[in-house]
């Protein structure tokens, strides 16, 4: 798999340098320059919202640093979690004196390093809370939802938590809305082709040209089945059925994200969205604020994911609030 890179060892640093030069509202901070924050200092008294994870998923994670979203983000090597130091740097950069919410996917290395960074933050009198993204329904059954991975649906929690923090919500309230949004969000993905980490000798996984895998994770974690490729409508019908099986009883309105995992083009995403919207309306759900595009990728992986955020009045209001980052603008 060909890549437009220099030395693979410099991949992350050169990417971050280019990101911040292209978007002057961002800057790198910390000794190892692996935390991205807003160029403008955080407002005194504002709750900070921080995330983090491995490179290779842009716009996730660093691409969502901006007004109404994240205040700072720690970034690791490709498909590797951020270090304790970069997590500390992100928390410190997001500290406005009102506490910091750490909001990231449910992966072991990320949890461990953010937990230790939060302990160091407490020594410096920075209060932190943690909310994990657990939206990937393929990664564990509903009765073990706490074990599920966090994937594309995490950005809905970024949006609601970021909006409430921007409005002046306290740490308890920002934590609560992030948790509620996560609990009302579900994602399922389908992979068509693999990706390759810069400098690696081979792709992350192999899949035949005539095959497709349902439920594969964004790092190539095994899915729930691998079969010959089928028409898009049939795949969407199955994906929506799985997502609606966990529909909250009070849901009448839903926001949908049809997301490219890297190389799947907009044209194919709109074919998927078209069918998904039909199925949601058949299920008597009103579609609000649809998102279609590469919001959470996995290098050049082929495939797509569908996320549903089952709305209530508070979540819908916060999803509509102004936001401004390099990859997502509202209002």
| Active-site choice (149, 186, 219, 277) | 219
- The 3-state DSSP class for residue 248 equals coil
Q: Give the integer Cα–Cα distance in Å for 285 and 199.
A: 45
| Active-site choice (23, 34, 57, 129) | 57
Tokens representing 125? 């009198």
202, HSE (Cβ side, Cα atoms, 13 Å): 4
**Which residue in 92, 39, 231 sits closest to 102, CA to CA?**
92
Through-space distance between the first and last CA atoms of the chain, rounded to whole angstroms: 39
**Which residue in 68, 7, 146 sits closest to 327, CA to CA?**
68
DSSP 204-232: S----TTEEEET--TT----SEEEE---H
List the Cα angle 81/85/86 in 5-degree steps: 55
Q: Does the annotation mark 146 as catalytic?
A: no
Residue 171 DSSP class: H
Residue 252 phi/psi, 5-degree rounding, is -125, -20
DSSP 3-51: ---S-GGGHHHHHHHHHHHH-TTEEEESTTS-EEEESSPPPTTPPEEEE
180, HSE (Cβ side, Cα atoms, 13 Å): 16
Q: Does the annotation mark 23 as catalytic?
A: no
Q: Give the integer Cα–Cα distance in Å for 21 and 78.
A: 21
Residues labelled as active-site residues: 57, 219
């Amino acid at each position: 798999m060909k890549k437009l890179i220099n030395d693979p060892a410099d991949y992350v640093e050169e990417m971050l340098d280019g990101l911040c030069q292209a978007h002057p509202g961002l800057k790198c901070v910390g000794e190892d320059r692996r935390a991205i924050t807003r160029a403008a200092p955080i407002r005194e008294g504002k709750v900070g919202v921080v995330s983090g994870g491995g490179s290779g998923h842009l716009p996730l994670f660093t691409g969502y640093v901006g007004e109404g979203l994240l205040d700072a983000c720690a970034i690791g090597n490709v498909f590797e979690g951020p270090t304790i130091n970069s997590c500390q740097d992100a928390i410190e950069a997001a500290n406005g004196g009102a506490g910091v919410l750490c909001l990231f996917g449910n992966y072991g290395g990320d949890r461990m390093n953010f937990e230790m960074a939060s302990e160091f933050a407490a020594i410096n009198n920075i209060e932190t809370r943690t909310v994990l993204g657990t939206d990937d329904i393929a990664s564990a059954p509903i009765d073990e939802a706490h074990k599920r991975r966090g994937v594309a649906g995490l950005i809905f929690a970024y949006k609601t938590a970021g909006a409430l923090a921007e409005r002046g919500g306290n740490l308890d309230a920002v934590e609560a809305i992030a948790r509620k949004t996560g609990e009302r969000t579900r994602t399922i993905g389908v992979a068509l082709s693999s990706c390759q980490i810069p400098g690696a000798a081979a792709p992350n996984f192999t899949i035949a040209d005539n095959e497709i895998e349902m439920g594969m994770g964004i790092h190539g974690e095994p899915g729930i089945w691998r079969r010959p490729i089928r028409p898009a409508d049939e795949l969407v019908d199955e994906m929506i059925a799985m997502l609606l099986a966990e529909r909250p009883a009070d849901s009448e309105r839903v926001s949908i994200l049809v997301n490219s995992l890297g190389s799947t083009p907009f044209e194919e995403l709109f074919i998927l969205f078209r069918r998904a919207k039909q199925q949601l309306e058949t299920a008597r759900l009103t579609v609000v604020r649809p998102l279609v595009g590469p919001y959470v990728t996995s290098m050049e992986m082929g495939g797509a994911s569908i996320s549903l955020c089952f709305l209530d009045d508070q979540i819908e209001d916060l999803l509509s609030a102004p936001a401004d980052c390099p990859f997502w603008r509202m209002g």
